[in-house]
Each structure stands twice: as structure tokens, then as C-alpha cells.
């Protein structure tokens, strides 16, 4: 199934593509053709999954985006104190090519403007047989997860059109900020600007920064954590030059633009964003890049204020109802059919926060399910917080599943979605067991209509007594008494002594207990054909749970007194009864252990 995120990005691309403002950067090799309609969007998660739409594989020059990465390399080489002696970290409020030098010291305001970037490049030395530019390109390659290269023709064109930068380099030399040849420093700087990347490369670079310096595709560290923290901080305050304040307010992600048409934005701990579109605004940033990031921040709640927690997959485990069935006792034919078709219903247990990263992992997990999955249960019991974006994604998942003849279900005991506009066709359950039971009933109805569970099950047809002969079952039934209860009646209360074995003939019984915080929790719902009461014998003859009628209920009860009389009058039948009940209890324990095993394994 197509991910709702892919669908959203395609719609966003269509909307933003209509923007015709801006003018492409014109400096380049002779004969260079720039297509103002080129427009690509990539979104890469911190586990390396990339969503992409548009022009995402076309090479373009990194340009000023290189400043952030080289600043990180200088920090890794020398440490923050040594770099700070040459370059400050204060927003300049000036365009990228302004002088912005501190009076007296000549120290550039920050490493994101041209004077600061020149000073940073002068700090990077060759090492281990590699030149400074080789080390720089190797660092960029580690960020991208593939080998990158300088375009020599672009570098030559930049050198021919860089008189102002040449003057800045000499000015920095006069203040002692640059200690080597200014022309050589300028050449290295323009070479790093001429490194060629694609929009997809740029998104992996952004995701590497979001992943605290470790490339999510290769697992290799491109930059240490301390350097990443400093780089992202300066990108937030100065990465967008004289538009940095508006960017921090409207987008809220550390970012860096380049006149080559690229825009890189980082949601720390969660994802990286890259946009490629050549037409530039007055600040030297991509017009469509800025518009795209503003929309992503708004629609996907990617502003750092809303997504402050570190992102991780929200998927705790996933399994079919075959692996962890309900505790409903069914006949052999129905059990066999559910074993055959249970893979058509999947439970996806979620945990943590459903902010951007959590919602993205949820969407990806559901979208990747096999086409023959008909029912998807999202279990929210371990979820702490649900964002507006996550609710939107839930609605789109429900819509897409429904359009394919499939159904989304929720387990929401804590009421996380109470008062939230979720699709009406999405059933919500208090317990996972209730949701799985619903799935089983649907599968039986769809794939074996004659096996639908009957509304009335006399004791003789109860699975618990199935090992007995008809004669023994009839003898036991004769000793039972009929009891009826109205909705809300308490049938058995916690702490009561053993009162017998209760066979549900019709209706439902809710099993309720108290959690460690003293809250009443519904454990399960028992239906016609099931039994309760016998487990009190294993807990010092005391009832461990409260059993409450849900709607009208009819029971047949083999009372404690009737069982005592049976043991005295017909010891053989009493032994057969206990064997049958023990076998039934073992089956239920086995189902429970299978469920636990599946959840531990996943």
C-alpha cells in the first residue's frame, strides 16, 4: 500500500511547484543550462528510510551548504575553543557576502557567512597523506554515504567570478585570522562549494546530522556528537543568514541553504529534509526550498518546539492473530480455519510518542503490510503522546485501507484519542484481547460463514466439556442450576470463596481486576461457550477477579455444593470433570504463553 507520507509529499510538490518567483544563480561553466523547473523533495529518517518526489537524482553544487560540514570538521580537528579564537558564533543579521568582522580583532561573526567560512577552511590542514580538500570531500562523502567529488569546471568558474571573496580572504589575512596564502584558502573554499550532490544525498547528510553524526545507511560516524551539537546550534541561529530569525520562527529547524538551489534542514533525533530548486530569493535561499520547509514544519509538526524529544520507531512489535489468538474457546473446525486465515489480521503494538518520527514509523509499518492483510490493529496502550499530525496520519491510513477493502482498528484504553476527530469507521477497543476477538469473528464470517459463533451455547456444547461423553455431559448438566443476570449485575466479586463452575449460555461477562495504582481494569470479555470460576481453586479458594454482566446474561452453574455431592456420589465422573477442566485451563494458559512468547520475540 502506498504510504500516506508519499501521497502527502506528492501533493505538497504539486502545490509548491506553482511558485515561479526567484532567479537561479548564474555563475557556472560555459554552456551551463539551469532548468528553473527542477524541483525535488527528500525526507530521510534517522533509520535511513528516504521518501522522495520530483528531481531527486540530478547533480548540483553544494555551495554554501558546505560551510556547516566543514565547520564540523574544523571543530573535530581542533576543538571548539581553538575554532572560536578565529570565528565567533553570533548571528550577523547581514547577507552572506557581507564583511561582518569584529572591530579590532577582525574575527568573523559566524562560520555560515563567507568570511567565517574562509576562516574555517584555513583551519583545516592536510593529514595522513591527504590534502585539506581531500579530507573535506571525504567528510562530505561520509555524511552522504557514498563517494562525492569536486566538479573542476564549476570550481574554475567560481574562481573567475570571486573577486569579492578574494578581497575578503586578504582582509582576513591582514587581521591574522587566515595565516596561510589567501588565494590557496579561497581555492579550497570554492572547491568545497563545487562538490556535486543530489537531493537524495543531501537528505542523507541531513539525516546524519539528525542522527547525531552517524550515517543511518552505513552506520559510520561522520562527525562526533559534540561537534554536531555546535554545528546544529549555529545553523539554527545563522544558517539562513539575514533571514535566520524568520526561519527559526516559521520553520524551527536548523538549516543551511546554498545558491546551487539546495536547502538542508534537520529535525534533531528524527529526520533530515532536503529540497532542490534553483530559483533563489533575495537572501540567496531557494524560493521553493523555503516554502517547502515551512509547509513541512506546519503540516508534519516538525518545528523543534513540537518535536523536542528524540525520535525513535514507535513500533514495539507486530504479529498475526494466529501467533497470539484470543482466549475464546472455539471448535476444532473454527480453530483450523483461524489458523489458516489468521495471518490476514495483524496487530501492531506501538510505544513512546507519536510525534513526527513515531507517526512516520507507524505509517511505514502499516504501509508495508502484505496485500492479503484485511484487518490492522494499532495498539496504543504503551503510547504516551499523540500529535495532531499522528491523528491526521491515522485518518489517512484508515481511508486508504478502507478504499482497498481493509479495516483499521485501535486499542486505546487510556483514551488518548478521546475528543479527537478520528474516522467513524475505525472501531476502538479497551483491550487487545477484545480487538483480536473482533478480528477472529470477522475472519470466520468472511472465510467460513457457517462457523460464526452461536449466540447460545448450552453446557453440553461447551469446549470445556468436549472431552466427556454425551452421557457424562448430560449427568453433569442435570446437577447444574440456571441463573440469569441483568446488565451491570455482579456475578462474582473478588475475594469470594469458590462458588462453583459457571458456564455462559448466552450474553457476555466482563472480567475486571485492579492494577497496582488501584484503578479498575477490564482484563477480558467472556462469551457464550466459555467458563469461569474454576480458577479460584488455584488461589486459596478465593476469587481473584470480579465478573460483571454486560447486557443480559444466562448461566448454568455447577455449584460448589453440587461438585462436593458429585465427588461423594460418582467419583469417576468427578475425576472426568476435573480432567476436562484441567485440560481447558491448560489450553488457556498455553494461549497466554504463546502470546507472551510472540511479544518477547518481536
Task: Report the C-alpha gap between 279 and 192 in whole angstroms.
Answer: 21
Given a cut of 90, whether residue 502 has pLDDT beyond it is yes
| Domains of the chain, CATH where assigned | 4-299 (3.40.710.10), 315-451 (3.30.750.24), 459-601 (2.60.120.10)
Task: Report the C-alpha gap between 468 and 63 in whole angstroms.
Answer: 82
Give me the residues paired with residue 195 across strands: 150
Given a cut of 70, whether residue 190 has pLDDT beyond it is yes
Give the pLDDT confidence score for residue 524 in this predicted structure: 77
Three-class DSSP category at 284? coil
Query: What does the pLDDT look like over 546-556, one tens digit per residue?
Result: 999 999 999 99
Given a cut of 70, whether residue 57 has pLDDT beyond it is yes
Assigned C-alpha cell, 256: 543551511
Q: What backbone torsions phi and psi does residue 265 show, to the nearest 5 degrees?
A: -135, 145
Assigned C-alpha cell, 105: 580583532
- Contact between residue 335 and residue 329 where contact means Cβ atoms under 8 Å apart: no
551: phi > 0 → left, psi -120 to 50 → alpha, else beta; which?
left
Give the pLDDT confidence score for residue 514 in this predicted structure: 82
CA-nearest of 345, 281, 341 to 96 is 281
Query: What does the pLDDT look like over 78-129, one tens digit per residue?
Result: 999 999 999 999 886 655 556 667 677 788 989 999 999 999 999 999 998 9
Q: Stretch 459-480: mean pLDDT, rounded?
A: 93
Flag the least confident range among 48-57, 224-233, 403-412, 514-523.
514-523
Strands 481-485 and 546-559: antiparallel
Task: Report the C-alpha gap between 298 and 394 in whole angstroms.
Answer: 17
Query: What does the pLDDT look like over 192-220, one tens digit per residue?
Result: 999 999 999 999 999 999 999 999 999 99
Q: What is the mean pLDDT of the chain?
A: 89
Assigned C-alpha cell, 582: 484441567
Given a cut of 50, whether residue 233 has pLDDT beyond it is yes
User: In the 8-state DSSP scheme, what is residue 55?
Assistant: S
Task: Report the C-alpha gap between 81 and 75 in whole angstroms.
Answer: 9
Q: What backbone torsions phi and psi does residue 502 show, to the nearest 5 degrees?
A: -105, 120
Which letter, b or e, does each residue of 367-395 get, where b requires 16 or more Cβ atoms within 10 Å of its Cβ?
beeeeebbbbbbbbbebeebbebbbbbbb
Q: What is the DSSP string of 532-574?
A: ESGGGGGTTTB--SEEEEEEEEEEEEEEHHHHHHHHHH-HHHH
What band does 602 get if pLDDT is binned at 50, 70 and 90?
Answer: very low
Query: What does the pLDDT look like over 271-320, one tens digit per residue?
Result: 999 999 999 998 889 999 999 999 999 999 988 876 645 556 788 889 99
Give the predicted TM-score (pTM) of the model.
Answer: 0.78
Task: Write the burial class of residue 75 (CB in 10 Å: 0-12 exposed, 13-18 middle, 19+ buried).
Answer: buried
Task: Report the C-alpha gap between 26 and 392 in whole angstroms.
Answer: 41
Q: What is the DSSP string of 111-149?
A: TTSHHHHHHHHHH---BTTB-HHHHHHHHHHHHHTS---
- Contact between residue 148 and residue 201 where contact means Cβ atoms under 8 Å apart: yes
H or E element at residue 186: helix 182-193
Task: Write the burial class of residue 212 (CB in 10 Å: 0-12 exposed, 13-18 middle, 19+ buried).
Answer: middle
Amino acid at each position: 500500500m502506498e504510504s500516506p507520507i508519499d501521497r502527502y509529499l506528492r501533493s505538497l510538490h504539486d502545490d509548491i511547484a506553482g511558485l515561479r518567483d526567484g532567479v537561479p544563480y548564474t555563475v557556472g561553466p560555459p554552456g551551463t543550462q539551469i532548468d528553473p523547473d527542477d524541483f525535488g523533495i527528500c525526507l530521510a529518517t534517522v533509520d535511513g528510510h528516504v521518501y522522495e518526489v520530483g528531481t531527486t537524482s540530478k547533480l548540483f553544487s553544494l555551495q554554501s551548504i558546505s560551510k556547516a560540514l566543514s565547520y564540523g570538521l574544523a571543530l573535530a580537528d581542533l576543538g571548539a575553543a581553538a575554532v572560536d579564537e578565529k570565528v565567533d558564533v553570533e548571528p550577523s543579521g547581514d547577507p552572506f557576502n557581507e564583511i561582518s568582522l569584529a572591530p579590532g580583532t577582525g574575527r568573523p561573526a559566524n562560520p555560515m557567512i563567507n568570511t567565517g567560512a574562509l576562516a574555517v577552511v584555513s583551519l583545516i590542514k592536510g593529514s595522513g597523506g591527504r590534502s585539506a580538500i581531500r579530507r573535506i570531500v571525504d567528510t562530505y562523502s561520509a555524511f552522504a554515504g557514498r563517494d562525492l567529488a569536486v566538479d573542476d569546471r564549476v570550481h574554475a568558474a567560481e574562481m573567475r567570478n570571486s573577486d569579492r571573496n578574494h578581497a575578503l580572504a586578504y582582509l582576513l589575512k591582514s587581521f591574522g585570522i587566515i595565516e596561510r596564502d589567501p588565494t590557496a584558502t579561497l581555492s579550497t573554499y570554492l572547491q568545497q562549494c563545487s562538490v556535486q550532490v543530489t537531493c537524495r544525498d543531501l537528505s542523507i547528510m541531513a539525516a546524519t546530522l539528525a542522527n547525531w553524526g552517524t550515517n543511518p545507511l552505513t552506520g559510520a560516524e561522520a562527525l562526533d556528537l559534540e561537534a554536531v551539537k555546535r554545528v546544529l546550534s549555529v545553523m539554527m541561529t545563522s544558517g539562513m543568514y539575514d533571514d535566520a530569525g524568520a526561519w527559526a520562527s516559521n520553520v524551527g529547524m536548523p538549516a543551511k541553504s546554498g545558491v546551487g538551489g539546495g536547502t538542508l534542514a534537520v529535525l534533531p533525533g528524527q529526520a533530515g529534509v532536503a529540497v532542490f530548486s534553483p530559483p533563489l530569493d533575495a537572501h540567496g535561499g531557494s524560493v521553493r526550498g523555503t516554502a517547502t520547509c515551512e509547509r513541512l514544519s506546519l503540516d508534519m509538526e516538525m518545528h523543534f518546539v513540537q518535536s523536542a524529544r528524540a525520535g525513535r520507531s514507535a513500533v514495539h512489535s507486530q504479529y498475526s492473530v494466529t501467533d497470539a489468538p484470543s482466549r475464546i474457546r472455539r471448535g476444532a473446525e473454527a480453530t483450523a480455519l483461524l489458523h489458516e486465515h489468521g495471518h490476514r489480521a495483524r496487530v501492531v503494538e506501538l510505544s513512546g510518542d507519536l510525534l513526527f518520527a513515531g507517526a512516520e514509523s507507524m505509517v511505514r509499518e502499516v504501509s508495508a503490510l502484505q496485500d492479503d492483510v484485511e484487518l490492522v490493529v494499532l495498539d496504543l496502550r504503551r503510547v504516551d503522546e499523540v500529535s495532531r499530525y499522528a491523528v491526521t496520519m491515522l485518518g489517512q491510513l484508515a481511508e486508504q485501507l478502507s478504499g482497498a477493502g481493509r479495516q483499521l482498528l485501535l486499542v486505546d484504553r487510556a483514551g488518548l484519542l478521546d475528543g479527537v476527530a478520528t474516522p467513524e469507521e475505525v472501531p476502538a477497543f479497551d483491550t487487545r484481547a477484545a480487538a483480536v476477538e473482533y478480528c477472529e469473528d470477522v475472519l470466520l464470517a468472511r472465510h467460513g460463514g457457517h462457523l460464526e459463533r452461536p449466540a447460545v451455547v448450552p453446557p453440553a456444547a461447551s469446549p470445556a466439556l468436549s472431552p466427556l461423553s454425551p452421557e457424562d455431559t448430560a449427568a453433569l448438566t442435570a446437577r447444574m442450576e440456571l441463573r440469569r443476570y441483568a446488565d451491570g449485575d455482579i456475578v462474582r466479586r473478588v475475594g469470594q470463596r469458590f462458588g462453583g463452575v459457571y458456564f455462559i449460555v448466552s450474553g457476555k461477562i466482563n472480567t475486571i481486576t485492579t492494577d497496582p495504582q488501584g484503578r479498575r481494569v477490564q482484563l477480558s470479555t467472556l462469551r457464550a461457550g466459555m467458563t469461569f470460576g474454576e480458577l479460584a481453586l488455584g488461589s486459596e479458594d478465593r476469587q481473584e477477579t470480579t465478573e460483571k454482566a454486560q447486557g443480559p446474561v444466562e448461566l448454568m452453574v455447577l455449584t460448589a455444593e453440587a461438585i462436593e455431592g458429585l465427588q461423594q456420589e460418582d467419583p469417576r465422573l468427578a475425576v472426568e470433570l476435573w480432567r476436562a477442566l484441567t485440560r481447558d485451563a491448560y489450553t488457556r494458559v498455553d494461549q497466554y504463553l504463546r502470546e507472551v512468547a510472540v511479544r518477547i520475540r518481536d
